[in-house]
Amino acid sequence: MPKFCANLTWLFNELDFLDRFEAAKEAGFDAVEVLFPYDVNAQDIVDALGRYELRMALMNCPPPNYTGGPQGYAAVPGLDERFKKDFGRAIRYAETLGATHLHIMSGVAEGTEAKETFINNLRWAAAEAPAQSLTIEPINNETMPGYFLNDFDLGREIVEAIDAPNLRLQFDTFHAAKITGDVMGTWDAMRDITAHVQVAQMSGRGEPDQGQIDFPAFFALLDAQGYAGWVSGEYKPRATTTEGLGWLAGP
């Protein structure tokens, strides 16, 4: 089976945030991801990671805007300086937490200028933090209307245009199913540029068990192809998280 990690923004949220690390370890996870950890003292997270011998697999960039603004704007024309400033804060947090990957969100935008802005900002970020693995994630427009990076072929085009060793794709099965309707085929087309995988079922974005996506087959495919990265459970538990973890044991 692949190496599984737990998204603590979505899982174990019946518990206080810092208690989720212990719950993840007890459930058998060796790594976690947190989408926006910035409102928690970084040292508290570092202590929890160390106490339960967990890795921080991924976090998002930029930090959320607490005045109601967008969470991502790397592709939004005119916000280049804001992106660079907030990227600096995100990198400091990622380094403190030892985050394997930092996911850069494109934000809501469209058109040629947005594409150029996204490429320029990503090229700058990859050079600014050459030791940090960066990812971009295609997100379907139903979940996030107007999101610029809403297509896997566009994701490949951008990764290849920048051609930086520390920039790769983030593959989410839920978004792949929404965008293409073919999770297995999309994975085969994108696996060579993919650094991180997230899983949730269709429909409802629940546990990766019963539903439209054949997860036992998907996990077997990852194993057969030698995928060595993390596979994160990023889904909405039907009940408590622990009650829905049967999928970890495999078929």
The CATH number assigned to the domain holding 49 equals: 3.20.20.150
- Rounded Cα distance, 149 and 102, in Å: 16
pLDDT at 249: 84
The CA distance from 17 to 247, in Å, is 23
**pLDDT number for residue 251:** 63
Catalytic residue, from 53, 137, 142, 157: name it: 137
Per-residue tokens: 139 = 């997100």
Catalytic residue among 22, 33, 234, 243: 234
User: SS3 for the chain, per residue?
Assistant: CCEEEEECCCCCCCCCHHHHHHHHHHCCCCEEECCCCCCCCHHHHHHHHHHCCCEEEEEEECCCCCCCCCCCCCCCCCCHHHHHHHHHHHHHHHHHHCCCEEEECCCECCCHHHHHHHHHHHHHHHHHCCCCEEEECCCCCCCCCCECCCCHHHHHHHHHHHCCCCEEEEEEHHHHHHHCCCHHHHHHHHHHHEEEEEECCCCCCCCCCCCCCCHHHHHHHHHHHCCCCEEEECCCCCCCCHHHHHHHHCC
**Contact of 206 with 241, CB cutoff 8 Å:** no
Computed from CA positions of residues 158, 159, 163, 167, in that sequence, does the dihedral angle turn out positive or negative? positive
Contacts of 161 (CB under 8 A, 6+ apart): 119
33: annotated active-site residue: no
In the chain, how many domains are there? Answer: 1
pLDDT at residue number 250: 72
Q: Supply 178's token pair.
A: 């929404």
* Domain coverage including residue 161: 3-249
For this structure, is 137 an active site residue? yes
Q: Residue 48: what pLDDT?
A: 98
Record the tokens describing residue 224, joined without a space: 């057969």
Rounded to two decimals, the pTM is 0.96
Q: What is the pLDDT of residue 69?
A: 67
Local confidence pLDDT in tens for the 251 residues of the chain: 899 999 999 999 999 999 999 999 999 999 999 999 999 999 999 999 999 999 999 999 988 765 566 779 999 999 999 999 999 999 999 999 999 999 999 999 999 999 999 999 999 999 999 999 999 999 999 999 999 999 999 999 999 999 999 999 999 999 999 999 999 999 999 999 999 999 999 988 999 997 899 999 999 999 999 999 999 999 999 999 999 999 998 76
pLDDT at position 210 is: 78
Residue at 229: amino acid letter:
G
The C-alpha atoms of residue 178 and residue 150 are separated, in whole angstroms, by 10
Between strands 31-33 and 3-7, the pairing is parallel
